[in-house]
Structure 1
Amino acid sequence: MQQKLIALDLDGTTLNGQSMISPKTKAVLQKASRAGHIVSIVTGRPYRISKQIYDDLNIKTPMINFNGGLGHIPHQNWDKEYQKTFSREIAFDLLKNMDTFGIKLMAAEKKSMILASNPHAIVDDFFPVPLNSEQILNQQNLKSDPTSLTILIDDKKKDKIIQHLEQVYGSNVEVGVWGGVNPVLELEPKGVNKAVGIKHLADNFKIDRSNIIAFGDEHNDREMIDYAGWGVVMSNGTDELKKLANDITAKDNTQDGLATYLENYLKLAE
């Protein structure tokens, strides 16, 4: 079989209900890697909360973080590494207007930077705590342009802030809304999405678009599922994403749906 680029979303896709990689999923992905395929994590998560999963998988391939904003090979220097950013002035504007927009918490990040407006707030383990004084998000500490801004907002003011961001900064950033219980917005550089990441990987590994197989479940996987030669959506995925899929897994992410599908697709079963 021709070498494939296997692009894996994490939450709701590769990870089970406990946000872990199951033994079966790990075994299948390692088998795919040994068979010569490029297995890559392509996630909206920052590096700091996907590193452990990458290490657990024990594969040495590139990883895409921040929905396409960062492409790198962890623990080594990769000459094809990239990181996209947008102006830190946007963060400064939002910091000044936190009350107006109902912003409860904001974090600015890049590969090795994390700053947050409140050192003690916890949301779904996503926002890091506790932070030291150099990690408080303010004008002094935010010395370089971020790759991502994550914003926890008052649900009642959500439409107002989205409208402001799109009107004022729409030519500089993409405004994403998180799936899940908390009203969280995410800003990324304009034109950045997961398809940017997988195209970068495919070009570098000389893999044709038709040999990319991508797995996802949520709206931030849309461009990747659309771009891949074979886009597979989890049975627990959104209805909107399923409309774009080449196929849908029979089982969901809590039942090793991805592993079972990939094992059959690549004919990896012993």
Structure 2
Amino acid sequence: MIALDLDNTLLDSHKKISEANVAALQRLHQQGLKIVLCTGRPLSAIQPYIAQLGLTAETDYTITFNGGLVVHNATGDVLYQNGLHKPDFEPLYRYATRRGLPLDILDFNHNFQIKELGPSLYTQTKRVGVDYLPVSFKELPDNLFSTALISTTPSTLDTVNPQVSHDLFTTYHVVRSQPHMLEFLSPEVDKIVGIKALLSRFNWDTSNLMTFGDAENDFHMIQQAGEGVAMINGQPDVKAVADHITAKDNNESGVADYLQRYFDLV
């Protein structure tokens, strides 16, 4: 199984999958390898990438919401799901209110923008396939939620991240998945957790796993994979736990370059 992060890994800076990356992954998929997109995004927002790669076979799955949801690509059936409820976000809401920070709380289909805290960068850069609903925290329904996020300028998060209290780090799995995005997940949610749920579907373990990633939310899937590959443009902590580092970055089809050499694709 090859599990791939999207932003700054498989995607270039224009959010495109290069022809070289498509060709390498499609060839390996045709040879029977499991190609799995593993992202913080919702499934609806990455359907064009799934279609572009042709990941629509009976055994094709996608891992979304940083491991909180594993779905069958063809049917949308849920293999694994985990998240939080409204009361779980009360400490984070109080923190964001004190600090004057925006807050978005996402279930598996909608983004609830907490309107009394103002718009976030996440809301302003609307993603296809996600419904944006401005609500007060009091109006937030008690759904099962995938994540909450503080999305603001990278310079603001540079200040905020080190000051997040110990209590919040023990209440949530906190990851900075993008320079402008700090995510708060269930302590049980991680990309590697979703990957392990999918591996067990095929009676496999992490020795059957190759992963590609670049950021903090890719750390454990890189660290625990039988073949963990970090992008050369990745964060230093992620590269430090990788088995290998790509020779080229995400704008140079670094994934394809690595796969071509590893699998001797000619």
Q: Identify if the C-alpha distance between structure 1 residues 82 and 132 changes in structure 2 by more than 3 Å, giving closer, same or farther.
A: closer
Deviations 1:167-220 (A, max 9, x none): 1x544421222442x3x3211001321111211111111234222111111121
Instruction: Work out the CA distance in 2 between the residues paired with 1:129 and 1:24.
Output: 25
Question: Is residue 231–residue 246 contact of structure 1 (8 Å, CA) maintained in 2?
Answer: yes
The SS at the match of 1:56 is helix
Residues paired across the two proteins, number: 258
Question: Is residue 214–residue 238 contact of structure 2 (8 Å, CA) maintained in 1?
Answer: yes
Partner of 1:91: 89
Structure 1 or 2: more helix by fraction: 2
Partner of 1:260: 257
Pick from 155, 160, 165: which aligns with 1:158? Answer: 160
Partner of 1:123: 121
Q: How far has the Cα of 1:81 moved from its partner?
A: 1.6
Partner of 1:51: 47
Q: Identify if the C-alpha distance between structure 1 residues 108 and 47 changes in structure 2 by more than 3 Å, giving closer, same or farther.
A: farther
Q: Identify if the C-alpha distance between structure 1 residues 242 and 132 changes in structure 2 by more than 3 Å, giving closer, same or farther.
A: closer
Q: Identify if the C-alpha distance between structure 1 residues 219 and 139 changes in structure 2 by more than 3 Å, giving closer, same or farther.
A: same
Q: Which runs of 5+ in 2 are unaligned?
A: none
Question: Is residue 6–residue 38 contact of structure 2 (8 Å, CA) maintained in 1?
Answer: yes
Pick from 231, 243, 246: which aligns with 1:246? Answer: 243
Q: How much is the aligned-residue C-alpha RMSD, in angstroms? A: 2.9
Q: How does 1:133-172 map to 2 (within 5 A)?
A: 135-152=134-151, 155=157, 158=160, 162-163=164-165, 166-167=166-167, 169-172=168-171
Q: Identify if the C-alpha distance between structure 1 residues 92 and 30 changes in structure 2 by more than 3 Å, giving closer, same or farther.
A: same
Instruction: Work out the CA distance in 1 between the residues paired with 2:96 and 2:123.
Output: 22
Q: How far has the Cα of 1:123 moved from its partner?
A: 2.1
Deviations 1:99-147 (A, max 9, x none): 41221x2211132232112499462677538998955353334231311
Instruction: Work out the CA distance in 2 between the residues paired with 1:235 and 1:156.
Output: 22
Question: Is residue 121–residue 127 contact of structure 1 (8 Å, CA) maintained in 2?
Answer: no
Instruction: Work out the CA distance in 2 between the residues paired with 1:26 and 1:126.
Output: 30
Paired amino acid for 1:91: F
Task: Using the aligned pairs only, state the percent identity.
Answer: 28
Partner of 1:199: 196
Q: Identify if the C-alpha distance between structure 1 residues 225 and 208 changes in structure 2 by more than 3 Å, giving closer, same or farther.
A: same
1:25 aligns with 2:24: no
